[in-house]
Structure 1
Amino acid sequence: MAESACPLGGGGAGGEVLGRSRSGFITKLHLSADGRCRPFSLIVAPGQRADCAQFIAVLEKFRVPRTGLGRPRKKPDSLAAGRACSNGPVREYLRRRGIRHAIPVKSDSQAARRRKGARGGRPPGFDEDRYKKRNTVERVAS
């Protein structure tokens, strides 16, 4: 996939970041922010793109500047994300990088695990207190 001309990243052919959705042509902002509503990384994508498709790209652009000398930190201490990011590839990526997370499990995934019984595996851990703080990212764009 070629890099787009959009300075904020994302986009389609020629740097377009408009996409068709039920409400017309829209653009989505995918970003990461800290608990004080300060953004760390941002990707602009067409509206028809799924949120989970941009999740890994947003985390790859994540940078926290050091107060003194040294390279910026590239890994968050922990994160909270919505149900849209509750899939195998995202969870595997977070596990591989050692990032603690609070992502609720979709109800159909829970039902599938129960149907499999002992073969369904152990459900992923979920920290409700950390997930309640997820609303800070919603306030960043306002």
Structure 2
Amino acid sequence: MAEPRRPPGEGDGGGEGLGRSRGGFTSKVHLSADGRCRPLSLVVTPGQRADRTRFEPELEKIRVPRTGPGRPRKTPDSVAADKAYSNGACRAYLRRRGIRHTIPGKADSQAARLREGSRGGCPPAFDEKQDKKRNTVERAINKLTHARAVATRYDKRGYVYLGTVTAAALVLRLRT
């Protein structure tokens, strides 16, 4: 059976990894990080690609290293994400895998739930203490952009840029 075709730039660096967005002709680095701001997995996509479309593939790539012998874990203890991932599909995926999560709800979703009254359902659980740890991903991206090649993206091909970001992530991981 043939593998379905992906649009250029989708997946692990295939295509150019460039696309139009509000900021111009850009690419996105989707990143997951541990509590010490070290990258666990990353994917490069075109700039116009929505964040939530890469949520499941990004979590599938996570490998949490063990302190002792044994294979790395594929499931993180918990996930703290921003409002871009506040939808039913992402929450259902996390519940299916048994991963605790803290994702703030969007204002329009909360307003719609209130308008519905008792039919609006129960709001999703939200842990404010866990939500404060959400900045680790932003700090990890800031550390990655200290590498000039990652910040400016001079690479023409998507797979070359993915290699550049991966090398910067390895250096970051080895330093801490």
TM-score (norm 2): 0.72
Q: How many angstroms does 1:70 deviate by? A: 2.1
Change (3 A) 1:130 1:109: same
Question: In the alignment, which residue of structure 1 is the partner of 2:54?
Answer: 54
Distance 2:63 2:8 in 1: 21
Contact in 2 for aligned 1:32/1:39 (Cα 8 Å)? yes
Identity %: 67
**Within-5 A mapping of 1:121-136:** 121-136=121-136
Contact in 1 for aligned 2:41/2:62 (Cα 8 Å)? yes
Question: In the alignment, which residue of structure 1 is the partner of 2:38?
Answer: 38
Q: How many angstroms does 1:4 deviate by? A: 8.9
Question: In the alignment, which residue of structure 2 is the partner of 1:19?
Answer: 19
Question: In the alignment, which residue of structure 1 is the partner of 2:100?
Answer: 100
- After superposition, give the CA deviation of every residue in 1:57-105 in whole Å (9 maximum; x if it has no partner): 1101011122333221001101110000000100000111111111000
Look at both structures and tell me which one has the larger radius of gyration over its CA atoms. Answer: 2
**Within-5 A mapping of 1:86-97:** 86-97=86-97
**Structure 2 unaligned residues grouped into runs of 5+:** 143-176
**Structure 1 unaligned residues grouped into runs of 5+:** none
Q: How many angstroms does 1:132 deviate by? A: 1.0
Distance 1:132 1:67 in 2: 25
Distance 1:10 1:3 in 2: 11
- After superposition, give the CA deviation of every residue in 1:104-123 in whole Å (9 maximum; x if it has no partner): 00111111111221111111
- Matching residue's letter, 2:78: S
Aligned pair 1:66/2:66, yes or no? yes
Aligned length: 138
- Matching residue's letter, 1:106: K
Judging by fraction of residues, say which structure has more helix: 2
Contact in 2 for aligned 1:79/1:100 (Cα 8 Å)? yes
Contact in 2 for aligned 1:66/1:72 (Cα 8 Å)? yes
Larger relative contact order (Cα-Cα within 8 Å, sequence gap ≥ 6): 2
Secondary structure (helix, strand or coil) at the match of 2:25 reads strand
- Matching residue's letter, 2:88: G
Change (3 A) 1:53 1:133: same
The runs of 4+ residues in structure 1 deviating greater than 3 Å are 1-6
